[in-house]
Amino acid sequence: MEEAQKQDAGFVWQKQLTHVMRHLLRRWYLLLLGVILGGLAGYLKVKAKKPVYTASFSFVLSTDQRQGGGIANLAAQLGFDAITSSPDNIFSGDNIIELFKSRKLIGAALLSEVDKNTHQTLLNFIAQKNFSAPYNALGSFGKQPQTYSPGQKKLYSRIISAVGKSFIVFKRDKKLIVYILSATATDPDIAYHSARLLLDQTSKYFIETKTRVSASSVKLLQHEADSLGMVLRNVFVSTAATNDRTFNLNPAITVQRSGSLFNQARATAFAAAYTEVMRNLEIAKINLQKETPLYRIIDEPELPLDASRVSALKYTVVSAVIGFLIIAVVLSAQSLLKRT
């Protein structure tokens, strides 16, 4: 009984399919029309679409400061990499990629100058080209976002969002320390300057953050060394002046030489302090150099950039197939509804 029901159901579906196929063949001109309209729509869409330009920078940004020599290398080979890593490794690896997505750094890149001669910022450059209507109505942007009008702040946020979506940062291999920053735009100059200025601002912020403590120590020790040098110079001048006043003094009168002796003692004390500060200053400079991350651009694009266009033939064929399928589905549904 069940076998007979299955055979009847299969026969019904086969009959329905045959009916649908015949209905489609009788409406072949509609299918052809769907292919033509779909292909034409795809072709027109490709031709109306603006070309896209891509600017890619490859760079090195490394903070690997492991210590321990052979022990550290052996631990890394055995998989205990985290034990020998720097404790402030928060800015290494994939965290660097997330740093590029910060709105603060994107905003800093937008306020950077595209042309040093005209002092035009990237923000005004993008606003003039991609948002000409609101830009002409709102006026030029300054370099202080807190002074912008409400309309300018709204447009500023739109441009930050647009720039943030226009680039990607990645590594081809996690074992490498080479990163690639790729920015895309419909204008080659915008793509190039967005990638270059964002890379400059992010690397600058990264290096300043990593070396803040060491740089502060160097600055403090340098100030201390300059102050001690000035005091020591004044002591030497005072000692020389005292010696000049007591020249050819009667040996029986020694009290007037007390000032010179006191200045000599001060000079000796300040000289010792100055020597110690200078030694610590040189050590601090060496530590600062060691802690400064390695940053260097490997490859950068050259203007004018090459445009990447979508293949018109490929897009037309895909659109024609989609048009065919849409008409076929509509006709099939119509046939089944009538038969039901």
**Spatial separation of the C-alpha atoms in residues 320 and 35, rounded to whole Å:** 4
Report pLDDT for 212.
84
8 Å CB contact between 109 and 166:
no
DSSP string, 9-46: HHHHHHHHHHHHHHHHHHTHHHHHHHHHHHHHHHHHHH
**Spatial separation of the C-alpha atoms in residues 120 and 246, rounded to whole Å:** 67
Interior angle at CA 307, CA 302 and CA 313, nearest 5: 155
Q: 73-102: b or e for each residue (b if 16 or more CB lie within 10 Å)?
A: eebbeeeeeeeebeeeeebbeeebeebbee
Residue of higher predicted confidence among 245 and 96: 96
Residue 156 has pLDDT above 90, yes or no: yes
pLDDT, tens digit, 9 for 90 and up, residues 229-278: 888 888 777 777 766 665 555 555 555 555 666 667 777 888 888 889 89
Report pLDDT for 40.
83
Residue of higher predicted confidence among 295 and 245: 295
Peptide bond into 304 cis (omega under 30): yes
**Spatial separation of the C-alpha atoms in residues 46 and 284, rounded to whole Å:** 60
CATH of 52-211+293-308, one of 1.10.3470, 3.30.310, 3.30.1890, 2.40.170: 3.30.1890
**Spatial separation of the C-alpha atoms in residues 187 and 173, rounded to whole Å:** 30
How would residue 105 be classed by pLDDT, with cut points 50, 70 and 90? very high
Residue of higher predicted confidence among 311 and 113: 113
Residue of higher predicted confidence among 18 and 221: 221
Report pLDDT for 109.
93
How would residue 44 be classed by pLDDT, with cut points 50, 70 and 90? confident
8 Å CB contact between 126 and 159:
yes
Q: Using the structure block, give the residue that is written with the tokens 């000032």.
A: 259
Residue 55 has pLDDT above 80, yes or no: yes
Q: What percent of the chain shows pLDDT beyond 70? A: 77
Report pLDDT for 2.
53
